[in-house]
Amino acid sequence: MRIQPNTERLGPFRHLRLSFPSPITMSHAKFLPSYLLLLTLLPLLFSSLACFSAFSNTKGNEPRANDPVLESITMDPVERDTLFRVMKNMSSDRDWRSSNPDPCKPDSSWPGIECKPGLDNLLHVTRLDFGAAPNPTCKESATFPSEIFELPYLASIFFLDCFKGVETSLSLPPPTRKAPPPAYASLQQLSLISNPSFVGAIPSHIFSLTSLRVLTLSQNRLHGTIPDSISELNSLVHLDLSYNSLTGSIPSQIGRLKDLVGLDLSYNSLTGSIPPSIGQLRLLQKLDLSSNSIAGIVPDSLQNLRFLDFLALSNNNLSGEFPKGIAKLQNLQYFIMDDNPMFVKLPWQLGRLAKLQELRLSNSGYSGVIPGSFAWLRNLTTLSLENNRLTGGIPAGLSELGKLYHLNLSSNLLSGVVPFDAGFFKRLGSNMDLRENSGLCINGSQSLDGINIGVDVCRDNGSDSSLPKSVDKSGGAPFQVCNFYFQRQIFVKSGCAY
């Protein structure tokens, strides 16, 4: 048991400390900027160590564990009784009432609880964590404890891998004009992660949690639509509803969440289009809408997200041109947009995203040439353009990208001599894939040291006659002509003539 940490010490990202790893964090963790990944994982560390850091604040006149004042105060008896009812419903690890009759006392061995002294000279529960060791485990019959909202100072609730037996749902007591549940005004974080028996819809009156800053309901079995009222949570910094079965469209009012830093709606069944109001989220750093059925274009308003550094739109039905001002996303480091029926040319403006580290645009019907401007991406580590209809040669400037370690240009219509030297081949090794580009060849003098990149050796070491038989002497597209049909996950070649 510990006192609630002083978040003022955490600087401009103090609110992100309250977020927890989400399913998309797990699936895309390798794409996240290192500092964002750290900020995402730190809260779980704090949660897991809750019972080991009792009364750790030492700033100014804050109380300490050995403070005789703390030894003399206790909990409000009504609040304590509510806490015991919550624990009886949730966990059978021990007889909570008899083993720890005063669970907020400094010498308590009760795990997963955080307390804070109030101005009324009483200790109050400010945080409860369940499911993640060493916090209390949840019994098979546990259901979501709606009485938890009767704890008037509660600021954070966390359930991880907790509800696995009896189906339960997010039970929010309906607010009343006279007396809404006390915690509705105090709760800042509500996190339920990886609960296979957590079902149902998100209550429309979730807007009653007026102080909520972090809402994480990921990797559960929620269904129904995202209520429009979620856009009334004006203090929200982090919203994660990923890995559920949510349907319908993204609320058009989502742009009202002016303080939002992270938005993750991935791995649901959302339809409709990306609302233009999303461009009003001027503080947004992470946007993940991948693995839904979202259609239409990427709205031009996306160019307003100047702090965005992680953008994932993969595995949807998006099509058409990129936003005209996409080059304005100067903080973008990770752009992941595979598996969409785009069927346009790659915009040269992508080469102006100076901080870009990963660019993944595979299996999306892109045509034309690979823009030479991609050679400007000096921080690029991964370039994946496989399973498209790209033509022409590989830009020679890509060989100068010193940080590149993964290059996949396979299954396109590329032609000409591969412009990489032996050092480039050696550095990338098996992380380079140029297969199924019948017009490509490599200079016979290059030593690949046994590395198979899927390209044949040129016949005459770089002369016009060196190109494979399937390519004309002008270095243009191969004689082999195929019709490509876009499917959700793969291109299927048919009717190829040799």
Question: In the predicted model, is pLDDT for residue 168 greater than 50?
Answer: yes
Choice among 67-76, 115-124, 129-138, 270-279 with the minimum mean pLDDT: 67-76
Question: In the predicted model, is pLDDT for residue 319 greater than 90?
Answer: yes
The neighbour count for residue 396, using CB atoms within 10 Å, is 14
Strand partners, 198: 168
Confidence of residue 11 (pLDDT cuts 50, 70, 90): very low
pLDDT, tens only, 456-493: 888 765 444 444 433 333 333 332 333 333 333 333 33
Residue range 272-294: mean pLDDT, rounded? 98
Residue range 337-341: mean pLDDT, rounded? 98
**3-state class of 158 per DSSP?**
strand
**Residue 409: closest CA among 401, 398, 423, 400:** 398
Choice among 3-17, 200-214, 320-334, 398-412 with the minimum mean pLDDT: 3-17
pLDDT, tens only, 147-156: 999 999 999 9
CB-based contact 362:390 (threshold 8 Å): no
How far is the C-alpha of 28 from the C-alpha of 37, rounded, in Å?
10
Q: Please state, in angstroms and as integers, the Cα–Cα distance from residue 124 to each residue in 4, 101, 242, following that order.
A: 10, 14, 32
- Planar angle of CA 477, 488, 273, nearest 5 degrees: 110
% residues pLDDT > 70 (the chain): 75
Question: In the predicted model, is pLDDT for residue 383 greater than 90?
Answer: yes
Instruction: Say which residue the tokens 């309906």 belong to.
Output: 174
Strands 113-117, 123-130: pairing is antiparallel
Instruction: Say which residue the tokens 């870009």 belong to.
Output: 356
In a domain, 61, yes or no: no
In which domain, by residue range, is 407 found? 343-445
Q: Environment class of residue 305 by beta-carbon count within 10 Å: exposed (0-12), middle (13-18) or buried (19+)?
A: buried
Number of domains within the chain? 1
Based on C-alpha coordinates, what's the Rg of the chain? 28
How far is the C-alpha of 93 from the C-alpha of 254, rounded, in Å?
41
In a domain, 319, yes or no: no
> Which H, E and C letters describe 359-374, residue by residue?
EECCCCCCEEECCHHH
Confidence of residue 98 (pLDDT cuts 50, 70, 90): confident
Would you put residue 428 in left (φ > 0), alpha (ψ -120 to 50) or beta? Answer: alpha
DSSP conformational letter for 26: H
Put simply, whether the predicted model's pTM sits higher than 0.85 gets the answer no
**Residue 206: closest CA among 215, 197, 194, 218:** 215
CATH code, 369: 3.80.10.10
Q: What does the buried/exposed string (b/e) look like for 234-252 if buried means 16 or more CB atoms within 10 Å of the residue's CB?
A: ebbbbbbbbbbebeeebbe
DSSP conformational letter for 89: H
Confidence of residue 110 (pLDDT cuts 50, 70, 90): confident
CB-based contact 331:36 (threshold 8 Å): no
How far is the C-alpha of 471 from the C-alpha of 498, rounded, in Å?
11
Side-chain half-sphere exposure of 224, counting CA atoms within 13 A:
12
In a domain, 392, yes or no: yes
Per-residue pLDDT, 213: 98
In a domain, 371, yes or no: yes
- Residue 409's identity, in one-letter code, is L
- Planar angle of CA 305, 307, 310, nearest 5 degrees: 90
Neighbouring residues of 296: CB distance < 8 A, sequence distance ≥ 6: 272, 273, 274, 318, 319, 320
How far is the C-alpha of 333 from the C-alpha of 328, rounded, in Å?
13
CB-based contact 224:246 (threshold 8 Å): yes
How far is the C-alpha of 76 from the C-alpha of 80, rounded, in Å?
6
Mean pLDDT of the chain: 81
In a domain, 357, yes or no: yes
Question: In the predicted model, is pLDDT for residue 362 greater than 70?
Answer: yes
How far is the C-alpha of 67 from the C-alpha of 490, rounded, in Å?
65
pLDDT, tens only, 24-55: 334 444 444 444 444 444 344 334 333 333 33
Residue range 58-82: mean pLDDT, rounded? 64
pLDDT, tens only, 420-449: 988 898 899 989 999 999 999 988 766 666
How far is the C-alpha of 147 from the C-alpha of 65, rounded, in Å?
29
How far is the C-alpha of 182 from the C-alpha of 75, rounded, in Å?
16
How far is the C-alpha of 99 from the C-alpha of 88, rounded, in Å?
13
In a domain, 82, yes or no: no
H and E: helices and strands count for the chain? 7, 27
The neighbour count for residue 452, using CB atoms within 10 Å, is 11
* Residue with the larger pLDDT of the pair 246 and 72: 246
**3-state class of 481 per DSSP?**
strand
Q: Please state, in angstroms and as integers, the Cα–Cα distance from residue 305 to each residue in 19, 61, 273, 302, 313, following that order.
A: 21, 41, 18, 6, 15
In a domain, 292, yes or no: no
Per-residue pLDDT, 71: 58
**3-state class of 59 per DSSP?**
coil
Per-residue pLDDT, 108: 66
Confidence of residue 495 (pLDDT cuts 50, 70, 90): very low
pLDDT, tens only, 231-263: 999 999 999 999 999 999 999 999 999 999 999
In a domain, 182, yes or no: no
DSSP conformational letter for 120: T
Instruction: Say which residue the tokens 């100067």 belong to.
Output: 330
Per-residue pLDDT, 489: 36
Question: In the predicted model, is pLDDT for residue 452 greater than 90?
Answer: no
